[in-house]
Amino acid sequence: MADTAAESESLIPSNQPRAPPAESKLSAIVAVILCFGVGAFLAFIAGSNWDVVCDQDLKWYLMINGSTLALTALVFLALTLSASLYGMTATIITIGLLLTYLITGAVGLSYYTQSDDCADISPSLAKWTLASLVGYAISCGLLLSTGVGNFGGATFAVFGNLITALFVWIAGLFNGVSHAMADEPDSTKADKPPPRSIGKEFTLVVTHGAFMWFFLYLVWEAFLERKNECDGQLHRYLMVLGIYAAFLTYVDFLFEKFAGAGRRKMLEPFFPYLWVFNGILYFAWSLYGTVETFGSSTCHSTSKNVFHLSLLLSILFLFVSGMVVLGLLVMLGDYLCTGRVKVIMVIEGDISVKRDE
């Protein structure tokens, strides 16, 4: 049966495009839904403020930008579901949508910076224009990192040397990580990033860009209301969380984009320690933010946006903590029901009886 499958596999030309596996389709569809939802929402904001007249045409920017995002999502959805659509036409459409997004973003940035009264006449229009421009800046940064990184590892040699020097300095604690970062993989030629289709590249940029946008939005709101007096340290909570999380998201993007198979294999044993370390940091800092949020009595009136964001993150932290506790209780119940505790008690009892004898 396996030989038959192998023979049928060999009958397929090597240059024939193949449909991505189910798991990559699922992640791509999630990215498509996110991109389409953001685009449709921006177009809705522009349409609901179409009668607003201010000194800059922010509504036109939001409408074109949102429509471009929605159309891009539909195009990549089609590319994800059908491998037969890949080709020169798909490449031309992709480049056209990318250029449209970049050009409209630059025009929108010019409109927003030159506007004097749009923020007063239509706060929602100005606010979501700024939000879309933040996403535009993040997308440009990720695309720039992709383009620069494609020129080779020498571009990031300075960062690699700094990271290597850092791990060498603390080699007593992270000796294995130091070797994984400094040593060359067994096969340098084979140590290349895994190949990705257009759909996977789209998913990578959209998901990481969305997370970076959210974390930087936390920092931005805390910065805007930094002068508003509040009896809780909510501004500090949001700024530290947003900066650290955005940094981790960007590092993960670079790793997923440029790390070769050999480097991934060398670093894989240290991932559990990284998850545990970041999990402890998240628990400690979120517990601090939750205490400050629910212990505040004036932040809800003096720093409304900061308080609402802190409350949202606190509720999310309590939900995650509750799910973890529930999982531990289920594991404990399963452990007790299997009779392992009884066996241990019997063994200990036998040992104590023999010692008494």
Give the highest mean pLDDT range of 41-45, 56-60, 121-125: 41-45
In angstroms, rounded to a whole number, what is the distance separating the alpha carbons of residues 95 and 83? 18
> pLDDT class for 1, splitting at 50, 70, 90?
very low
Which DSSP letter does residue 43 get?
A: H
Which DSSP letter does residue 270 get?
A: G
Burial class (CB in 10 A: 0-12, 13-18, 19+), 290: buried
Alpha helices in the chain (DSSP H): 2-10, 22-48, 58-81, 88-114, 118-121, 123-149, 157-169, 175-182, 198-224, 234-258, 261-267, 271-294, 299-302, 304-337, 340-356
| Mean pLDDT of all residues in 250-271 | 80
**pLDDT of 38 strictly over 50:** yes
Calculate the average pLDDT of the chain.
75
Tens digits of residue pLDDT in 44-79: 888 888 887 787 778 888 888 888 888 888 877 777
Whole-number pLDDT of residue 345:
41
Whole-number pLDDT of residue 87:
66
Which DSSP letter does residue 226 get?
A: T
**pLDDT of 82 strictly over 50:** yes
H/E stretch holding 190 reads: none
In angstroms, rounded to a whole number, what is the distance separating the alpha carbons of residues 44 and 41? 5
Whole-number pLDDT of residue 45:
84
In angstroms, rounded to a whole number, what is the distance separating the alpha carbons of residues 82 and 76? 10
In angstroms, rounded to a whole number, what is the distance separating the alpha carbons of residues 337 and 331? 10
Tens digits of residue pLDDT in 126-156: 888 888 888 888 888 887 777 666 655 555 5
Return the number of other C-beta atoms located less than 10 Å from residue 179's C-beta: 13
CB 80, CB 28: distance < 8 Å: yes
> pLDDT class for 167, splitting at 50, 70, 90?
low
Give the highest mean pLDDT range of 76-80, 248-252, 268-272, 344-348: 248-252
Which DSSP letter does residue 51 get?
A: T
In angstroms, rounded to a whole number, what is the distance separating the alpha carbons of residues 222 and 307? 10
Instruction: Flag whether the pTM goes above 0.85.
Output: no
Query: How many residues does this entry show for the chain?
Result: 357
Whole-number pLDDT of residue 243:
92
**pLDDT of 349 strictly over 50:** no
In angstroms, rounded to a whole number, what is the distance separating the alpha carbons of residues 16 and 307? 54
The more confident residue out of 26 and 66 is 66
Which DSSP letter does residue 13 get?
A: -
Residues 6+ apart with CB under 8 A from 290: 314, 317, 318
The more confident residue out of 21 and 64 is 64
Residues 6+ apart with CB under 8 A from 2: none
Whole-number pLDDT of residue 184:
55
CB 105, CB 126: distance < 8 Å: no
Whole-number pLDDT of residue 134:
85
The percentage of residues in the chain with a pLDDT greater than 90, rounded to a whole number, is 4
Whole-number pLDDT of residue 41:
87
**pLDDT of 343 strictly over 50:** no
| Mean pLDDT of all residues in 199-216 | 84
3-state secondary structure of 171: coil
Q: How far apart are the first and last CA of the chain?
A: 65
**pLDDT of 2 strictly over 50:** no
Whole-number pLDDT of residue 324:
85
Whole-number pLDDT of residue 14:
45
Q: Which residue has the tokens 């067994």?
A: 186
Can you spell out the DSSP letters for 277-346?
A: HHHHHHHHHHHHHHHHHHT-SSHHHHSHHHHHHHHHHHHHHHHHHHHHHHHHHHHHHHHHHTTHHHHHHH
Whole-number Cα distances in Å, 200 to 29, 86, 107, 188: 10, 13, 28, 24
**pLDDT of 85 strictly over 70:** no
CB 62, CB 130: distance < 8 Å: no
The more confident residue out of 7 and 57 is 57
| Mean pLDDT of all residues in 107-124 | 82
